[in-house]
Amino acid sequence: MPQYFPPNSNAFAKWSIIGGLIFFTLILTCLAIYVRSYRNRVNVPVSQPIPFSHALHAGELGVDCRYCHSSVEVAANANIPPVETCMTCHSQIRQGSPRLYPLYASWDQAIPGVNDTKSLEAGTDAPAPSSERLEWNRVHDLADFVYFNHSAHVNKGVGCSSCHGEVNRMEGMWKNEQMSMGWCLECHRAPEKYVRPIDEVFNVNYKKPGNQLALGQQLVEEYHINTGKLAQCSTCHR
Ligand code: HEC
Ligand code: HEC
Ligand code: HEC
Ligand code: HEC
Ligand code: HEC
């Protein structure tokens, strides 16, 4: 057979195949990293229908977490507050603020001059009462095959800020941690590094004391934390 290609073309063909494979894997890896980081976005504020500020409400005004997230001590899920909770203050405070329109639009009671269509015939763009539900976008969302329980943590001295960070300084809300399995296990293997006195659980400014390990050890015993089962698969995958 006559040779149509120079002798080194074999090597060229071989290397272009290998190069192609490397390129292909690289693209796949980039894609996987992009998808993962998109899903596990950390430190990126999630946009919301109302620019609600924890820095203002939980920080400056000092409203307790439980005023709004009232189920956090007693249930697996922490609730997002209903419109009624906001309206205990905002039926009076900053009624005219356009930032609060979605709140008034979802409130089923008419406030003259704010969301009462009759009194608004003079023509503002404020919404009518009870027209829409206020839907907050989720910030944290573990996969369905993972079991998580707030009350189990909160009642054993694991503070909000150990997992959610300095919420009282956040203008928007974002995930403070990856919330991956490795992250959960880091604490489940050695809870004494994090456990604090129960009356400090809602104190977002709490700082670990110098004697954390000794104090933690003591609290782990006092609160009967079952360190034996914490790292078992069935604790979180059931
Ligand atoms: C005045 C009511 C109010 C108070 C007080 C409050 N929150 Fe919230 N919180 C909200 C609302 C409304 C949302 C939903 C909007 C958002 O995610 O920004 C929310 C969202 C959150 C989320 C994210 C939920 C998700 O979608 O995953 C966390 C975490 C959280 N709050 C923690 C706290 C902690 C910790 C405190 C106490 C330091 C606190 N909050 C105090 C109203 C409140
Ligand atoms: C304990 C009373 C209280 C509660 C409950 C409360 N707020 Fe507020 N909110 C305030 C005060 C006080 C201000 C600041 C008013 C000012 O700066 O003049 C404010 C300001 C705001 C602002 C900024 C308004 C603007 O025009 O800049 C938004 C948005 C807001 N709150 C949303 C909410 C939402 C949503 C809820 C329910 C999850 C809520 N608030 C619950 C007291 C409250
Ligand atoms: C041990 C870590 C941990 C602690 C402590 C913790 N959280 Fe959470 N929080 C999470 C995780 C994980 C999720 C996501 C749960 C899911 O997707 O099922 C979450 C979700 C939330 C949500 C969204 C609603 C929900 O339940 O999914 C709110 C609100 C919230 N946390 C508030 C709080 C408050 C307030 C405290 C303190 C009283 C607190 N959290 C303490 C880890 C924690
Ligand atoms: C900062 C420490 C810490 C972190 C982070 C943490 N946990 Fe825990 N977890 C604890 C402690 C302490 C207990 C209480 C153990 C006990 O009661 O014996 C606990 C208990 C549990 C339980 C048992 C609840 C029950 O009802 O039996 C589950 C499930 C759980 N954690 C899941 C998770 C998951 C999932 C994550 C990660 C998203 C996580 N935890 C992150 C400290 C932590
Ligand atoms: C403290 C809680 C906890 C324990 C204990 C735990 N896991 Fe997980 N696991 C998680 C969380 C959280 C995720 C990630 C979920 C997500 O990405 O939303 C996860 C994810 C996984 C995944 C999916 C792949 C991945 O990495 O995302 C597998 C498989 C898995 N776990 C197996 C196990 C096995 C096997 C054990 C026992 C050796 C175990 N887990 C113990 C919390 C736990």
What confidence score (pLDDT) does residue 162 get? 97
How far is residue 44's CA from residue 129's CA, in Å, rounded to a whole number? 32
- Reading the block at residue 201, the tokens are 């659980």
What confidence score (pLDDT) does residue 110 get? 75
Q: Tell me, yes or no, if the pTM score tops 0.85.
A: yes
What confidence score (pLDDT) does residue 8 get? 72
Of the residues 71, 148, 150, 161, which should be mutated to test ligand 3's pocket, given the most ligand atoms within 8 Å of the CB? 150
Long-range pairs for 28-31: beta carbons < 8 A, 24 or more residues apart: none
What confidence score (pLDDT) does residue 21 get? 87
Does residue 42 have its Cβ closer than 6 Å to ligand 4? no
Does residue 180 have its Cβ closer than 6 Å to ligand 3? no
pLDDT of the chain along its 238 residues, tens only? 556 666 677 777 888 888 888 888 888 887 776 656 656 688 899 999 999 999 999 999 999 999 999 999 999 999 999 999 999 999 999 987 889 989 988 887 777 777 765 555 555 555 555 567 899 999 999 999 999 999 999 999 999 999 999 999 999 999 999 899 999 999 999 999 999 999 999 999 999 999 999 999 999 999 999 999 999 999 999 9
Report domain extents, the chain: 9-39, 66-80+139-238
Question: Can you tell me whether residue 93 is helix, strand or coil?
Answer: coil
Does residue 94 have its Cβ closer than 6 Å to ligand 2? yes
Does residue 40 have its Cβ closer than 6 Å to ligand 4? no
Report the nearest-CA residue for atom 36 of ligand 1.
65
What confidence score (pLDDT) does residue 127 get? 59
